[in-house]
A and B are shown apart, each in its own frame.
Chain A
Amino acid sequence: DDQDEVNQNYLADEEEEAEEEARVMVVPDLEEEEEEEEEEEKEEEEKEEEESQTQETGSAWWQKWQIVNEYLWDPEKRMSLARTGLILVIYFFFYASLAAVITLCVYTLFLTISPYMPTFTERVKPPGVMIRPFAHSLNFNFNVSEPDTWQHYVISLNGFLQGYNDSLQEEMNVDCPPGQYFIQDGDEDEDKKACQFKRSFLKNCSGLEDPTFGYSTGQPCILLKMNRIVGFRPEPGDPVKVSCKVQRGDENDIRSINYYPESASFDLRYYPYYGKLTHVNYTSPLVAMHFTDVVKNQAVPVQCQLKGKGIINDVINDRFVGRVIFTLNIET
């Protein structure tokens, strides 16, 4: 059967050739005939075996060797029978070379991408805002007289502020001059120093004096941080300020808020951020809001916005860019 012979020749030739890809081309076509061929081979094998049984036992090993040999390589047909294996090998090589090509592509691509600075930051700008404590929800419901209802906020805040402990900050970070950018020139891959942001800056909300962060008195502290963005610099001379107010309803529901640090702003010295690879000990600056007099026993929606030049806080689709909305419902 001519066709098969051509196939076989082809396969045999292939083996001699190193050309990986060319080999693979015929594979789908060959597969169909594969089973058929194998059956043929098996028949042949059986025949051979019958013959070998009739012969002397002395040459039995030699016979078996021949069968195995023929199974692997039939000189008449110039083909290998371990075809399934061969096809698997061919496919393996095909996918391996594909994988190699792709890896190479991705690798060369990544050579062009700096590990220190993201290529583009326009998708992550303008900065988003997040608050702490945070437990899956932006509704703060708690009863002052039932510590169980607010205890988890305290734990969350304590945990969060561990990295801001004064001792740790003094040990790891430098005290840099306020009111100006902390620019560190030098090579991209050089380690950068970070400015101190001490827990004590937060005063009444530091948890140092009042370990319940005001929750036990119905005057909760909420910390606000701005999302880190590599290279982001607020407008010089005009630090980003935080301002909170009642989002909907009576403005007098919140009669007073204390901000810590008192400027209610993120100092310029915490910018720019150089990325986590080199700016290892960078600690995000925080602003604590101390809601000292809020209407009790009713849900008060609060909106805290960033204010400053170049800050956007009114994106319709994204309610976390430049602002954050949460509700306070303090029961007594």
Chain B
Amino acid sequence: GLSSTRAAELLARDGPNTLTPPKETPEIIKFLKQMVGGFSILLWIGAILCWIAYGIQYSNDKSSSLDSVYLGSVLALVVILTGVFAYYQEAKSTNIMASFHQMIPQQALVIRDSEKKTVPADQLVVGDIVEIKGGDRIPADIRLLSAQGCKVDNSSLTGESEPQPRSCEFTHENPLETKNISFFSTTCLEGVAVSIGVLFFIIAVSMKYYVLDSIIFLIGIIVANVPEGLLATVTVALSLTAKRMAKKNCLVKGLEAVETLGSTSIICSDKTGTLTQNRMTVAHLWFDNQVFVADTSEDHSNQVFDQSSATWTSLSKIITLCNRAEFRPGQESVPIMKKAVVGDASETALLKFSEVILGNVMEIRKRNRKVAEIPFNSTNKFQLSIHETDDPSDRRFLVVMKGAPERVLEKCSTIMVNGQEQPLDRSTAKAFHTAYMELGGLGERVLGFCHLYLPADEFPATYSFDVDTMNFPTSNFCFVGLLSMIDPPRSTVPDAVTKCRSAGIKIIMVTGDHPITAKAIAKSVGIISANSETVEDIAKRLNVAVEQVNRRDAKAAVVTGTELKDMSPAQLDELLANHSEIVFARTSPQQKLIIVEGCQRQDAIVAVTGDGVNDSPALKKADIGIAMGITGSDAAKSAADMVLLDDNFASIVTGVEEGRLIFDNLKKTIAYTLTKNIAELCPFLIYIIAGLPLPIGTITILFIDLGTDIIPSIALAYEKAESDIMNRKPRHKKKDRLVNKPLAVYSYLHIGLMQALGAFVVYFTVYAQEGFRPSTLLNLRVEWEKGYVNDLEDSYGQEWTSYQRRYLEWTGYTAFFVGIMIQQIADLIIRKTRRNSIFQQGLFRNKVIWVGIASQVIIALILSYGLGSIVALNFTMLRPQYWFVAVPHAVLIWVYDEVRKLAIRLYPGSK
């Protein structure tokens, strides 16, 4: 190998053995982007207008107040804070992904200074000699110097699902094809920019007022109309959900994916590992002419089949002995099903199966010492081993064999029934075949087992067996039984599939497996429901040719990759449209993309699972790409919108549920946020039209939007689902938007207006009690705002200085603010549900709502009584009784909404 110094030199020359990371947008650009999107532009305009307004004021009158400057600064501050917040959120979610990548730093065993050393894979340099053993990830592009039966999984690069043999011969010009080069799994994908677009409306107002007045008016309108806090709340709500989903093993990369997930209408799922447990498990046994079912659940604990028969004793012995798989040492405390095993999938399944039923397998094997063995190979299709028996009185050797059932049966002349050897006659052979076909038809891998006791006189204890010359009988065995294995579905999957079905989500299975296996799994998890048939099933039932069956009669379809290849897009569309239960078998990863595109042509929101590099195009094309966290390649993970940490299909459904919930809750949040916009906008309109002293100031509005309302609107994200969330059809992404007409109309024209009126009542109360009755206030605006009028008469003939009026105006702001705040509490409570009564949902189930309400009140109290003396904030200390003026209106809002909900429940069609 290289010397360390030479390696260091090369490392310095060539750089680390890593792929150049995709070029990232500079952080500052990302940051600035957050500052100029959507509402931010509007607020910037507002801020600049403020400063311009001050400029005009200042040029007219040097002593003009600094209010506009304060306001402009506050607006700018709001934009910057929101931007910083959004940037921080995005950076955080990017970091989660980054940390995920680095969870398993790759190590390589390298020979340097003539010693084997473990170094991080990125420290490898040209000329290093690397040792690789089974299960390692290839740490770099390497040339094999020596290899023994080495096979590599190139699937992440080429999509070949079969492991490719690799040796030291140079076999092909193409580096991809030649056998002596293995590749570092590559990934080169640009990052996904996170951006949340929020709808907004601009009301442009042009009125023939003084430039200055209309500028200030415009700013007020802008500030009143822009839900400043919405971006922050939506981001927080989504990240809360993302966090909750991460706990449930769905890692969402972009926040908008959370929301898209809720609208998913088709899930294209892989089979292996996602729907199934990704390990062979014994599913059925056949002995004594009977089929027994074995427990295939994740922990295998409940093996209930009849184990009293003597045949089972023999069978279990063969299973135990004719097996080369072994547990890796040092796992005594690990549950059996989780222990690591050296051996192939079937043998592992058998080993674990027998370990669960019989106990210490290794001990049994030790007692029945193995004297010779023929390993399984594809020409023999059987495996055979010869053992001493653990019965001291029995000196015979036991030959045990397992293999493809038909090959095993060929070698048998007798069959064991209830522990007794019987000649293998036609009827028993027929029974065998029936059982074999039945189990094979379930898509299971079937193995046959037989044994033979060698006569002690012919084969004494000292007899030397030679597996090459086969100096022992290999026929006239006694057939003992069949055993079938399958990669069983995860136990949570059937429930998840049922849930999807009731949620109107179509599940399409896409697998590289054999159609029969695929169909069997699809049936067992419910992707193909129990009573639906494929075209082939119908043909078989009616006993007619497949072509004669009306394709539309079949609900289910199993389509192979070859069939898919020959299909035109129109045919695929027809297939997808006419069959509700579809399984694609023997498909290549490339075909997944075709399927996804087909689904998207149906106007569906498609979620696709994938793990290999080849799945990346499909993952990117899909509305929601879901990568597997355990088996997935880095390329798949970076192309995906979501990573399933446990590779479990059920987690996707959880994700969908969370997505729907957050969509519902965001709707509530937005409805809550939009409602008060009317209450904030009306004052400005009334101010201009009716000439009242300004009821609420711009800064006060900001305190509602960014102060009292923030926590309550986030609290709505914690709202539990209204019962029917997974019984609804998926939302139509284009038609059923977050902000739709009914929501806007109801928020603005109903509740919003009631709220505005309620707040005006508080405003009028304050003014009237201080001396200005509404009739006096009308058209008072111009006189009111004249700074030199210091003896303005009120309704009682009292005279007010301009500062006294200003102070009263601020009291009015505070009163209006408190009015809105009190009614927002009612708004918050009614927004908890969209259809159910509050009493059905439970007032106290969502504790966070109460935190929100408390925060609202406390913030308002602090603003009024704590900061009431700070002039720039325009808050004053309000008399305690004014806090309660709006309460009847809040109750009115609540009652009104309850009546609406009742109407909706009584006449559900109208929603």
Residues of A within 8 A of B (CB): 2-7, 9-10, 21-22, 24-32, 91, 94-95, 98, 101-102, 105-106, 109-110, 113, 115-121, 123-124, 128-130, 134, 136-138, 225, 227-230, 273, 275-277, 279, 282, 315, 317-321
Contacts and interface: CB of A to CB of B under 8 A. Distances in A.
A228 B904 contact: no
Contacts, number: 163
A6 B741 contact: no
Given A3-B909, A10-B909, A105-B761, A282 B742 contact: no
B800 A124 contact: yes
B899 to A, nearest CB: 6
A119 B728 CA distance: 57
B903 A26 contact: yes
13 contacts: A22-B899, A25-B899, A28-B741, A31-B745, A98-B757, A113-B773, A120-B769, A121-B771, A123-B808, A227-B791, A228-B797, A228-B799, A277-B797
Contacts of A315: 803
B193 to A, nearest CB: 34
B797 A282 contact: yes
Contacts of B749: 28, 91
B796 A276 contact: yes
A95 B750 CA distance: 9
Interface string B753-764: 110010011001
A121 B798 contact: yes
B476 interface: no
Given A120-B769, A321-B801, A26 B907 contact: yes
B788 A136 contact: yes
B895 to A, nearest CB: 9
A28 B749 CA distance: 9
Contacts of B741: 28, 31-32
B768 interface: yes
B765 A109 contact: yes
Give the interface SS of chain A, mostly helix, strand, loop or mixed: mixed
Given A28-B741, A105-B888, A123-B807, A130 B799 contact: yes
Nearest to A19: B899
A227 B771 CA distance: 14
Contacts of B800: 124, 128, 227
B299 interface: no
Contacts of B808: 123
A4 B910 CA distance: 7
A106 B907 CA distance: 35
B746 interface: yes
Given A102-B757, A109-B761, 8 more contacts: A5-B909, A25-B903, A27-B745, A105-B888, A136-B788, A273-B797, A320-B801, A321-B801
Interface in B720-757: 741-743, 745-746, 749-750, 753-754, 757
The residue in B743, B745, B791, B794 that gathers the most chain A C-beta atoms within 10 A of its C-beta is B791
Nearest to B802: A320
B127 interface: no
B908 interface: yes
Closest 4 CB pairs of A and B: A6-B909, A276-B797, A128-B801, A227-B799
Contacts of B900: 22, 24-25
A301 to B, nearest CB: 15
A117 B796 CA distance: 7
B774 interface: yes
B911 interface: yes
B804 A98 contact: no
Nearest to B745: A28
A21 B797 contact: no
A106 B796 contact: no
Interface in B762-816: 764-765, 768-771, 773-774, 788, 790-791, 793-804, 807-808, 811
B797 A120 contact: no
Contacts of A102: 757, 760-761
Contacts of A225: 791
A26 B764 contact: no
A83 to B, nearest CB: 13
B892 interface: yes
A277 B911 contact: no
A24 B750 contact: yes
B871 interface: yes
B896 interface: yes
B898 to A, nearest CB: 10
Interface in B669-728: none
A277 B796 contact: yes
A91 B746 CA distance: 12
B812 to A, nearest CB: 11
Contacts of B769: 113, 118-120
A116 B797 CA distance: 10
Contacts of B757: 98, 102
A120 B797 CA distance: 14
Nearest to A324: B790
A101 B758 CA distance: 10
Contact of B770 (A6, A123, A279): A123
Nearest to A10: B907
B210 to A, nearest CB: 17
A116 B888 CA distance: 27
